[in-house]
Amino acid sequence: MKGQSITTIEGLADTAVAAGKAVDGLHIVQKVWLDLDVAQCGFCQPGQIMAAADLLRRTKTPTDADIDAIENVCRCGTYGRVRTAIKAAAALMP
């Protein structure tokens, strides 16, 4: 992947800060995730957050079908909270 970059969950906030799009030092998706208490066990949350951040990078107003297409398997069944968080983050995105 010469010439390409990869952002991990650990670097997501730094990327948002560098772009001037951070809230309280976090990517908007991370901030909303915490504010809405989306996570239960946390096992799948990095993947859910990264998928949501990528979706919102690609589309400003994701549909339910868009959100369904990017969801990861969640043992705790937080799908409803994930959907709510993605829509809330979309409303806050610059």
- DSSP string of 45-62? HHHHHHHHHHHHHH-SS-
**Predicted TM-score of the model (pTM):** 0.92
3-state helix, strand and coil shares in percent for the chain, rounded to the nearest 5? 55, 5, 40
Confidence band for 71, pLDDT divided at 50, 70 and 90:
confident
Burial status of residue 25 (CB atoms within 10 A of its CB: 0-12, 13-18, 19 or more): exposed
* Boundaries of domain holding 57: 42-94
Return the SS3 of 37.
Answer: coil
Instruction: Give the rounded percent of residues in the chain with a pLDDT score beyond 70.
Output: 100
**Is residue 14 included in any domain, yes or no?**
no
Domain count for the chain: 1
pLDDT band for position 54 (cuts 50, 70, 90)? very high
Give me the pLDDT at residue 16, please: 96
4 lies in some domain: no
The tens digit of pLDDT for each residue in 16-50 reads 999 998 999 999 999 999 999 999 998 999 999 99
Stretch (H or E) spanning 44: none
At 80, the amino acid letter reads G
pLDDT at residue 1 greater than cutoff 90: no
Residues 6+ apart with CB under 8 A from 20: none
Q: Supply the pLDDT for residue 28.
A: 98
At 9-23, the pLDDT tens digits run 999 999 999 999 899
Question: Looking at the domain assignment, is residue 49 inside a domain?
Answer: yes
